[in-house]
């Protein structure tokens, strides 16, 4: 694998890119991969950045391709794989058969000895040979005209030099003690994390970065500053989503890529709701873990089981309820969330299940 510095990536790839005058928004589409991950950014210049490619088996690929079609996308300019777990890269091979992918980016080789997706390394090498491939590191930038995409974390390392305007002490560090480290190497800790900026609008996505790595990134000083949208780390599992991160970046909106029985932990909800600027939580599924007390109102949730199924879960004692990501039938149809952001920091989130949209006005945080 070859690594390129941020500057050299920009020189090689930004030449000849023109920004259409009639497109002025950054679009973000968040696919339902049933507790996996696939998030598409379409820049004002109509360049595309896809973060992860969902699970294997074709179901998620069909959903991603349908979402791409809705977005009018005919190729992926950059595919960033945050790490090599099956719910993040399992769908890559099938997706590459369905749409051109120009450039693959990742943190380098897996730290885990066993592949979750059998034969993935060999297949990934074949895909890289037919396109461009870059191993990225903290501080690198992915050159997309009209927006700024900076790498915050990769390969277990975090950004060392604070971004412009950031670097102040993070008060939330005092309440975010580290947790016990994994007993064996864990790909989650290697996750590529990105900050995507369009004018005054900012979104952060750290993949499945673990709690301790979040604390290392954000403490004692906050190198990122505040954001508008927080793509909830690790599907809302309590192994991630520390107060140091969530209270440190002070999001206005959280978007959780959960499944009905994966993610949506009670501690994650409690940390998000106590974050100083949070206005709303949007999520891909109604969480059986969160139940009535913690899920947001239904208009903010893209996929909800039928009333009889929900009722059976709510009336079954906790110890008798089934668990695991595969304990429920796949949703059909599956709906995604869409965010449309303007460079003044305003943005709108839309639930494609019910057409509900909410607009968030551009704001400059005081103090």
For the record, the structure tokens of 15 come out as 């030449």
Neighbours of 125 (CB within 10 A): 11
Alpha helix locations (H) across 219-274?
243-249, 266-273
pLDDT given for residue 229 in this prediction:
98
Nearest to 84, CA basis, from 114, 48, 41 = 114
pLDDT of residue 12: 37
What local confidence, expressed as pLDDT, does residue 333 receive?
85
**Is 48 within 8 Å of 75 (Cβ atoms)?**
yes
Q: What is the mean pLDDT of residues 233-255?
A: 98
In 3D space, the residue among 78, 125, 84 whose CA is nearest the CA of residue 99 turns out to be 78
Q: Which of 64-73, 216-225, 315-324 has the lowest mean pLDDT?
A: 315-324
Q: How far apart are CA 281 and CA 230, in angstroms?
A: 9
pLDDT recorded at residue 329: 61
pLDDT for residue 311: 79
Confidence band of 319 (pLDDT split at 50, 70, 90): low
Q: Read off the pLDDT band of 301 (50, 70, 90).
A: very high
Query: What structural domains does the chain harbor?
Result: 6-354 (3.60.15.10)
pLDDT mean across residues, the chain: 90
Q: What pLDDT, on a 0 to 100 scale, did the predictor assign at position 331?
A: 74
Whole-angstrom Cα distance, residue 97 to residue 100?
Answer: 8
Cα 159 from Cα 216, distance rounded (Å): 10
Q: What is the pLDDT of residues 151-163, one digit of tens each?
A: 999 999 999 999 9
- Per-residue DSSP letters for 77-121? SEEE-----HHHHTTHHHHHHHS-B-EEEESSS-SSSS-SSTTHH
Question: CA angle, corner 90, sides to 126 and 335, nearest 5?
Answer: 130
pTM (2 d.p.): 0.90
Tens of pLDDT, residue by residue over 85-101, are: 999 999 999 999 999 99
């Amino acid at each position: 694998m070859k690594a390129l510095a941020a500057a050299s990536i920009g020189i090689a790839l930004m030449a000849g890119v023109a920004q259409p005058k009639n497109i002025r928004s950054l679009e973000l589409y968040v696919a339902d991969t049933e507790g996996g991950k696939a998030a598409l950014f379409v820049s004002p210049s109509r360049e595309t950045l896809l973060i992860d490619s969902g699970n294997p088996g074709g179901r998620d690929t069909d959903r991603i391709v349908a979402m791409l079609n809705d977005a009018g996308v005919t190729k992926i300019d950059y595919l960033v794989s945050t790490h090599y777990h099956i719910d993040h890269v399992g769908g890559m091979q099938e997706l590459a058969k369905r749409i051109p992918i120009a450039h693959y980016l990742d943190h380098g080789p897996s730290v885990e000895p066993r592949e979750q997706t059998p034969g993935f390394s060999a297949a990934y090498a074949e895909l890289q040979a037919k396109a461009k491939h870059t191993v990225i590191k903290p501080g690198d930038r992915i050159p997309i005209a009209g927006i700024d995409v900076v790498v915050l974390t990769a390969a277990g390392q975090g950004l060392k030099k604070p971004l412009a305007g950031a670097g102040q002490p993070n008060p939330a560090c005092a309440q975010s003690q580290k947790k016990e480290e994994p007993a064996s190497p864990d790909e989650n800790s290697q996750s590529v994390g990105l900050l995507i900026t369009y004018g005054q609008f900012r979104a952060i996505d750290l993949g499945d970065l673990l709690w301790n790595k979040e604390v290392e990134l954000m403490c004692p000083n906050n190198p990122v500053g505040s954001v508008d949208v927080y793509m909830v780390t690790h599907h809302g599992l309590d192994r991630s989503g520390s107060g140091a991160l969530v209270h440190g970046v002070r999001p206005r909106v959280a978007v959780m890529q959960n499944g009905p029985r994966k993610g949506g932990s009670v501690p994650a909800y409690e940390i998000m709701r106590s974050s100083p600027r949070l206005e709303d939580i949007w999520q891909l599924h109604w969480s059986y873990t969160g139940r009535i007390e913690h899920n947001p109102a239904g208009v903010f949730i893209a996929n909800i089981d039928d009333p009889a199924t929900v009722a059976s879960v709510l009336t079954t004692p906790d110890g008798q309820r089934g668990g695991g990501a595969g304990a429920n039938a796949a949703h059909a149809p599956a709906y995604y969330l869409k965010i449309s952001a303007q460079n003044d920091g305003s943005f709108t989130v839309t639930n494609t299940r019910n057409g509900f949209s909410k607009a968030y006005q551009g704001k400059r945080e005081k103090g």
